[in-house]
Structure 1
Amino acid sequence: MKMSRRTLAALTAAALPALGGASVANAAPPELPRVRGDEALARARVAADVLMGDYDQIKAWFPSSWWNSAVALQTIGDYMLRSGDRRYLDQLDHTFERNKGPFPAGELSGDELYGNFTSRAIDDSGWWALTWITAYDLTGEQKYLDMAVTIGEFMDDFWDPSTCDGGIWWNEERTYKNAVTNGQWIRLTAELHNRLPGDSAWLERSQVAWDWYLASGMANEAGLLNDGLTDACENNGDHVYTYNQGLAIGAPLELWRATGDPQLLEQARYFADSALAQGALFTEGILTEWTDVLGESTNDNHKQFKGIFLRYLMDLADTTGDARYQDVVATQAATIWEQDRSITDELGVRWAGASTEASPNVFDWRTQASALSALIADLPQDGARRSLSASLSQAPVVMPDTDLMTVDLELHVAITSTPARDVRIRLEAEGPDGWALEAADHVSLETSETEGEPVLATVPVQVTVPADAAEGTQLITVTASAPGGLEYAARSEVVVARSIDFDGGTQDGPWLWDAGGSGVTDEPGRFADGSSYFIYRFPFPASTATAELTVTISNQYLVDLGADGETWTRVLAEDEPLRDASNRADHTFDLAPYLEGEDKDVYLRVSDAFPEDGWGGQVHHVSAQYSGS
């Protein structure tokens, strides 16, 4: 049946339980200290830098995932808006200019891209539209807003009242109407209205879509968004994903800005309170995707859902000033930093940090972007006038011989302080007993006049590893401190190894020289699909004369060996487009031809023999045997 807005308004009480009725009681969150604004900014800056370390400057996106790249770049935009740090504007613009045209299937994502960041996946297109609105908010450049309008017009073609009385289709094939595409559509149309002077068309679309969304039944009796509708236009009872709940907060909030209707703000609160209720989306105070639970498997999509929720919870906390929401944000940020952070400041998918051998925590650029949203949300709205951060480059694996070995690291220091002034930053390096560390004891920097813009310095740190160094992971720390109580400890690990024997994907981190856009499967294995690849480095001791490398590999592989990481010899290639790992086998290679120089490093590269179909080489296990002269 067709419904007028007046009828829908009368049905709102039936479509949703009484606003504010959701109990926000929850298990006590972990007791972690709330950080100052300068510390929050330092943490967000370091996490943003780690994320952008995975940005592919050539392809101008984050490899192997199209919609995830849009969300990650919007997160970087959120960081720049919140912090005042504008260092990544060029990358946003590079992505816009490099990728606004059409691309055949497989080149940038699995789908063909039609141009203007559109494809058969309607919600993918919507994420890019939201990203370009953020870029417009950062720069005021009209081209970004124009692109968001173009994407919006593309999406509007998939609004279809002939099925379920309305709603945007999830895909070009028109097979599913779901929460993400429609929550996204309401937010997008309201954002466009709020940025286009004199608009009425986008506002009308937003209001019609919101009315339909409330009446659709996707919100269940607990105020949680199930994934979508059945063919009979009923709630399908599918999982409640955190990003759907986040959009249910963000959509009415932006529409409230457009209309001033207080009921919309209350509806945003209702969906937030429903998420915070006992037994809903939080476990012991920490936002938890159902796929985060030990024993469950995450995937590349799930990895970014929680960050989208935090983006819109931050918006609600900022708008209302409600201490409950601010406390939730602070708890997520503190727990991530203390329990879900690697030694190299990578942030994982499980914000509470749980990990077992059978169900390890997962770290990649998608999980980094998601957790970064929580750190951004914890920044003061007006930024922080002063902050100090530092990071250490990751050391390569060391395989000791009979002599001392040196490892060169780089300490990256960043400071903000307004007004501009000279700041002396003290440095103190620490390492294992018996190791020698050489680094300057201070660095002096003149801070920028521009609030939020960090001034950067790179300081060399030389680490001398004794020949009898204990095997395993050894911690290196450099602590930077500045006047006013600013302090930050940068960490790195040196892995000392005397053997090579690891599973791909779960144990290969120390040996991974270049991830190259590769991915990791649930079963131990690192894979390279399409144009992606990965490179392992094996730093054999200086006295090594002979060595053999055994690789367990499957699917559509190309395998190359080299002595410098740049020049390659093809040693193995699959000539059939296999997808079922039926060719999984051990292959052994003689490494003697690559050990002739003074440097005994050997590099192994794996890529995709049939890049058009996305089933590239997958390495399951690597081992090596070697002997001295």
Structure 2
Amino acid sequence: MILSRPRALCALLAGAVALAVGPVSPPSAQADPGGGFDGPTATARARVAADVLMSSYDPVKAWFPSSWWNSAVALQTIGDYMERTGDRRYLQQLDLTFEQNKGVFPAGYLSGDPLLGNFTSRAIDDSEWWALTWIQAYDLTKKRKYLDMAVTIAEYVEDYRDDTCGGGVWWDAERTYKNAVTNGLWIRLTAELHNRIPGDRHWLGRAQQGWNWFTGSGMINAGGLVNDGLNTSTCESNNQTVWTYNQGLAIGAGLELWRATRDPRLLTTVRRLADSAIATGGLVSDGVLTESCDVPGKVCDDNQKQFKGIFLRYWMDLTDTTHDRRYAAFQDQQAATIWDNDRDAAGRLGLRWSGATSADHPNVFDWRTQASALSALIAAVPALPPVRSLSATMTPAQPVVMPASGSATHVELVAGLQATAPAGQTIEADVRASGPAGWTVTPTQSTVTLRPNGSAVPARGSIELDVAIPAGTPDGRYPVTVTATSGPQLSFTTQAEILVAHTADFDTGTAAENPWLWDVGGSQSNGVQNRFADGNAYFVYRFPFPSDTATASVALTIDNEYVVQVSGDGEQWTTVARETEHVHGGENKATLTFDLTPHLTPTRTAYVRISDSHPEEGWGGRLYHATATYNS
């Protein structure tokens, strides 16, 4: 459901950055017009991005924090990744979500609405998203329980189909709105069920009825773009926003129904929808898929952050089905743009695929934007993906150094490698490391031997690196680069971005916060100056003060029901502040200063942890700004 989700907020994504080596091959050079521009590189990129996304998966609640339908879409995206690449590492998480969350839950636990069991709620479109996720799980595993669940959900949704406005499915249990998303999902869902249930006629009939009603409803405007829904009083198109996911779902619905019927008229309509999307006046700006809300100066809400990824999921289906080189070129362009322009130093993928940002409206990075952009990277993977691939990451990806005067400062990094290849083949990866001029990285060259056993579980290897930062290095961000190469076809580059700083001074929810954020702990960020930890969530900052530090302190601008704890090792905590009152509106907002000196370890590092003093209420500590200072 796309309305009234006030606390559907964003988890900060941890991860590692990886940069592809060499120029991108143009689509005309492809052997497979339905695939990516460079099979091994596209596969490796998708793997790196999928791992970053799954770092935000909450294994306790078995979902992605603070959003119900968005979690379904993110898990389906991971299913797409596994199906496309052969990597099966995340099947366990899919099944954990299925088994743990198929019951009945009160409002506020996983969704703002009560969950009625079997992944259903008053939000009909939310229920449909989960049905598609379980069909994806069935395709991956062939376990009947997933398909049976999708049928159960479809039967629930079917009860909200009636003749108002001539047909269609209601968006909500209150029957207030008939719209594009609910009915695009309904057609895709029922057609997918038909295509997987031998002898079915019922779901095929529902899909055909749904398509005929949808295409005749007026929601597809004269320009071939899909408006949001109908005015209930007049049953005419409301001419509201053309969201990318509605366009994508219409394409996906027609494609799945075509597979069921082979009616050529369906492909004609699908092509019109697709061509309209990428034509002048459509959904593309300077060659990049662009939501109306993600242009500079505007803000997308947590739901809208995932719309473009849904479009690319079904665009990938379009390319695979039609083998049209124009469609392949478009999806490859989106993947290349994201990788080159919309990726931060931690490997996170942002909202604006063009990378556009400003001080007032910075590009947003969270697990929703990660899932959305990941769909574009998956689409660039060839339909028949290469078995051999090589990727590299750096940990930590954004280390902080607060250097002492007069001597070099050392940072330890780990270069991690992952590779796939047929069983019995060995990948010898030559690994070369470098830093800025005057820095020393040890070792500069080494070899890692990886012994993959197919694509299901990539083989892993790593190299520990010591980075010596010269005394007197000015404050700034400095790259340390590692390139892993195996033979003439496999090459991947990753960078760690080291922040050299003498002061920690940052707003939460910004790129400036990321290097200091040591443990996300399930916390959420709802934009600039808004990181909070509800329930059992928390977040931790690490301040690696110089070795000659004598005193240190931190000032926090904070409110709501907070607990502030301090540690010298990140394990043993001392509580230094606790809000005992029940504060839900930020009326206790204040800047509090805490002395860190008693907690400094011999290495002069301090950790600050913020959590919820009343975890049963869900109004945990909210931090706006942090400043850490020291004296030598």
TM-score (norm 1): 0.90
SS in 1 for 2:107: coil
Moved more, 585-594 or 246-255: 585-594
Tell me the CA shift for residue 546 of structure 1: 2.2
CA deviation digits over 1:75-95, x for unaligned, max 9?
A: 111111111111211221122
1:605 to 603, 609, 613: 609
SS in 2 for 1:40: helix
CA deviation digits over 1:378-411, x for unaligned, max 9?
A: 1111111322111111243121124443322221
Q: Residue type of the partner of 1:230?
A: N
SS in 1 for 2:449: strand
CA contact (8 A) 1:476 1:492 kept: yes
1:591 to 592, 596, 599: 596
CA contact (8 A) 2:416 2:461 kept: yes
Moved more, 586-595 or 345-354: 586-595
Change (3 A) 1:515 1:272: same
Tell me the CA shift for residue 307 of structure 1: 0.5
Change (3 A) 1:100 1:565: farther
CA contact (8 A) 2:448 2:462 kept: no
Tell me the CA shift for residue 599 of structure 1: 3.4
Rounded Cα–Cα distance in structure 1 between residues aligned with 2:270 and 2:423: 39
Rounded Cα–Cα distance in structure 1 between residues aligned with 2:154 and 2:572: 46
Tell me the CA shift for residue 168 of structure 1: 1.8
CA contact (8 A) 2:255 2:266 kept: yes
Asked whether 1:378 is paired with 2:377, we answer no
Where does residue 354 of structure 2 map in the other structure?
352
5+ residue gaps in structure 1? 1-30
Q: Residue type of the partner of 2:556?
A: V
Where does residue 38 of structure 1 map in the other structure?
40
Q: Residue type of the partner of 2:226?
A: L
Rounded Cα–Cα distance in structure 1 between residues aligned with 2:578 and 2:64: 27
The structure, 1 or 2, with the larger RCO (C-alpha pairs under 8 Å, 6+ apart) is 2
Rounded Cα–Cα distance in structure 2 between residues aligned with 1:240 and 1:250: 16
Change (3 A) 1:230 1:616: farther
CA deviation digits over 1:218-258, x for unaligned, max 9?
A: 22221211111223122122211101110010011111111
Tell me the CA shift for residue 204 of structure 1: 1.6
Where does residue 500 of structure 1 map in the other structure?
504
Tell me the CA shift for residue 452 of structure 1: 6.1
1:397 to 389, 395, 400: 400
Tell me the CA shift for residue 38 of structure 1: 1.4
Moved more, 32-41 or 224-233: 32-41
Give the alignment of 1:158-557 within 5 angstroms. 158-161=160-163, 163-232=164-233, 233-393=235-395, 394-402=397-405, 403-418=407-422, 420-439=424-443, 441-448=446-453, 450-451=454-455, 453-506=457-510, 507-557=512-562
CA contact (8 A) 2:413 2:465 kept: yes
Rounded Cα–Cα distance in structure 2 between residues aligned with 1:608 and 1:111: 23
Give the alignment of 1:6-45 within 5 angstroms. 33-34=25-26, 35-45=37-47
Where does residue 25 of structure 1 map in the other structure?
none
Moved more, 547-556 or 522-531: 522-531
CA contact (8 A) 1:384 1:452 kept: no
CA contact (8 A) 1:106 1:614 kept: no
CA contact (8 A) 1:33 1:334 kept: no
2:91 to 84, 89, 92: 89
CA contact (8 A) 1:435 1:464 kept: yes
Rounded Cα–Cα distance in structure 2 between residues aligned with 1:611 and 1:247: 39
Rounded Cα–Cα distance in structure 1 between residues aligned with 2:228 and 2:618: 27
Rounded Cα–Cα distance in structure 1 between residues aligned with 2:609 and 2:121: 32
CA deviation digits over 1:509-536, x for unaligned, max 9?
A: 1111122233333443222334433221
Change (3 A) 1:423 1:354: same
Rounded Cα–Cα distance in structure 1 between residues aligned with 2:109 and 2:569: 28
Q: Residue type of the partner of 2:187?
A: I
SS in 2 for 1:348: coil
Where does residue 129 of structure 2 map in the other structure?
127
CA contact (8 A) 1:63 1:532 kept: no
Q: Residue type of the partner of 1:106?
A: G
Q: Residue type of the partner of 2:296?
A: L
Q: Residue type of the partner of 2:194?
A: H
Rounded Cα–Cα distance in structure 2 between residues aligned with 1:262 and 1:609: 61
Change (3 A) 1:280 1:522: same
Where does residue 78 of structure 2 map in the other structure?
76
Aligned pair count?
595
Rounded Cα–Cα distance in structure 2 between residues aligned with 1:154 and 1:609: 40
Q: Residue type of the partner of 1:184?
A: L
Where does residue 14 of structure 2 map in the other structure?
none
5+ residue gaps in structure 2? 1-22, 27-36
Tell me the CA shift for residue 422 of structure 1: 2.0
Q: Residue type of the partner of 1:289?
A: E
Tell me the CA shift for residue 419 of structure 1: 6.2
Change (3 A) 1:419 1:535: closer
CA contact (8 A) 2:24 2:38 kept: no
Q: Residue type of the partner of 1:540?
A: F
CA deviation digits over 1:260-303, x for unaligned, max 9?
A: 21111222112111111201100011100011100001221111
Rounded Cα–Cα distance in structure 1 between residues aligned with 2:159 and 2:458: 44
Rounded Cα–Cα distance in structure 2 between residues aligned with 1:453 and 1:326: 28
Change (3 A) 1:79 1:151: same
Rounded Cα–Cα distance in structure 1 between residues aligned with 2:383 and 2:350: 25
Moved more, 273-282 or 214-223: 214-223
CA contact (8 A) 1:32 1:331 kept: no
Tell me the CA shift for residue 500 of structure 1: 1.6
CA contact (8 A) 1:106 1:530 kept: no
Rounded Cα–Cα distance in structure 2 between residues aligned with 1:121 and 1:612: 25
CA contact (8 A) 2:480 2:496 kept: yes
1:566 to 563, 571, 589: 571
Rounded Cα–Cα distance in structure 1 between residues aligned with 2:528 and 2:458: 42
CA contact (8 A) 2:428 2:447 kept: yes
SS in 1 for 2:625: strand
Change (3 A) 1:87 1:262: same
Tell me the CA shift for residue 558 of structure 1: 3.1
TM-score (norm 2): 0.90
1:155 to 128, 134, 157: 157
Tell me the CA shift for residue 210 of structure 1: 1.5
Rounded Cα–Cα distance in structure 2 between residues aligned with 1:168 and 1:470: 61
Rounded Cα–Cα distance in structure 1 between residues aligned with 2:519 and 2:112: 23
CA contact (8 A) 2:25 2:38 kept: no
Tell me the CA shift for residue 453 of structure 1: 4.8
